[in-house]
Amino acid sequence: MSPSPLISSLSLIHRMIEAELAYTMARMQILEGIPENPIGIAYRRLNDNVVALAARHLPSPSFNKVVGLRAGQERDVQPLVEWYRDIGAQGRFEMVPGDFGVGLGRELALRGYFQSGFHAALIGEPDPPTAIPNGIIVEQVTDAAMMEDYLDAYVAGWSIASEHHEGFKENVRPWLAQLGWSLYLARIDGRAVATATLYVHGAVGYLADAATDPAFRRRGLHAALLTQRLHAAKAAGVDFVCSGADFLSPGHRNMERVGMRVLFIRSIWSPL
């Protein structure tokens, strides 16, 4: 019997991080394309594995973080702290088991950072054990009309204030044309109520951006979108699927219900 390709290893962890980072940077590059870069998108790559991301006027943790630091790279911390200070952004550092070293933690503490939280990274085979519940229809978004339904459900799911709806939707519409992206929309009684994305990068399927209208939560929509994306990832021939969630959140638990498991728990370091 051949060994499972999903035995935990640094190689597997690094492939997941690479897919996550590629997706995040693709999102940021869309925003960077807005005339005059009003969101203040910026990047800094120190070497092959360390990348710092910034969105000065969008305080999203996903867009303001350092990814990829490894033990022995303590001297890279100070230049990154200074870079965030100079551009006026609040950057976080993500530390990953296997790459972390005591020296990194000590250096971050000396530079005024503290461990502020944890984030679960999950992995699985693209072969869901469950079916989509009756009463939920999941569709892939394939045209502009469906995209408008997707956007309506997306802003509801993320509780975007109504005065920001049009600007937010304008920034998200380009997602439909992105290579490697598949957008999914879940409906109940014909109403668009939940959304999610599958991003395929180098034979890795990344399950991203699930959002459900608060009025329709606890009805199996997140699990239905997971199931549909796992089927799609299998059809795309990926080696494995991965995603992230707050530790023990409903999203984390739903991923385990469809057969995914925790690959690692990253620690988040934030400025004091």
- Count of alpha carbons within 13 angstroms of residue 39, beta-carbon side: 22
- Look up residue 59 and give its two tokens: 């305080």
Does 171 share its domain with 101? Answer: no
The number of distinct structural domains making up the chain is 2
Helix (H) or strand (E) holding 99: none
- Look up residue 22 and give its two tokens: 């590629």
Establish if 253 belongs to a structural domain: no
Q: What is the pLDDT of residues 208-240, one digit of tens each?
A: 999 999 999 999 999 999 999 999 999 999 999
The whole-number pLDDT of residue 252 equals 96
The whole-number pLDDT of residue 138 equals 97
Give the pLDDT band (50/70/90) at residue 136. Answer: very high
Q: Does residue 28 surpass a pLDDT of 50?
A: yes
Establish if 127 belongs to a structural domain: no
Name the residue range of residue 107's domain.
Answer: 10-120
Give the pLDDT band (50/70/90) at residue 1. Answer: very low
Instruction: Average the pLDDT over 162-185 and give the result.
Output: 95
Give the whole-angstrom CA distance, residue 263 versus residue 193. Answer: 30
**Looking at 120, 144, 174, which one is the last position of a domain?**
120
DSSP per position, 14-56 = HHHHHHHHHHHHHHHHHHHTSTT-TT-EEEEE-SSS-EEEEET
Does 111 share its domain with 183? Answer: no
Q: What are the residues whose beta carbons fall under 8 Å from the beta carbon of 45, sequence distance 6 or more?
A: 51, 52
Is there a contact between 196 and 209 (Cβ–Cβ < 8 Å)? yes
More confident residue, 8 or 5: 8
Using CA atoms of 119, 125, 129, 132 in order, give the dihedral in degrees to the nearest 10: 70
Establish if 130 belongs to a structural domain: no
**Looking at 52, 85, 120, which one is the last position of a domain?**
120
Establish if 2 belongs to a structural domain: no
Does 88 share its domain with 149? Answer: no
Does 171 share its domain with 202? Answer: yes
The whole-number pLDDT of residue 48 equals 85
Does 57 share its domain with 93? Answer: yes
Q: Does residue 126 surpass a pLDDT of 90?
A: yes
Give the whole-angstrom CA distance, residue 80 versus residue 11. Answer: 25
Instruction: Average the pLDDT over 231-257 and give the result.
Output: 95
Establish if 251 belongs to a structural domain: no
CATH number at residue 153: 3.40.630.30
Does 15 share its domain with 115? Answer: yes
Establish if 154 belongs to a structural domain: yes
The whole-number pLDDT of residue 5 equals 67
Helix ranges, 158-260 (H): 165-172, 221-236, 250-257
Q: What is the mean pLDDT of the chain?
A: 94
Q: Does residue 26 surpass a pLDDT of 90?
A: yes
- Look up residue 18 and give its two tokens: 């690479």
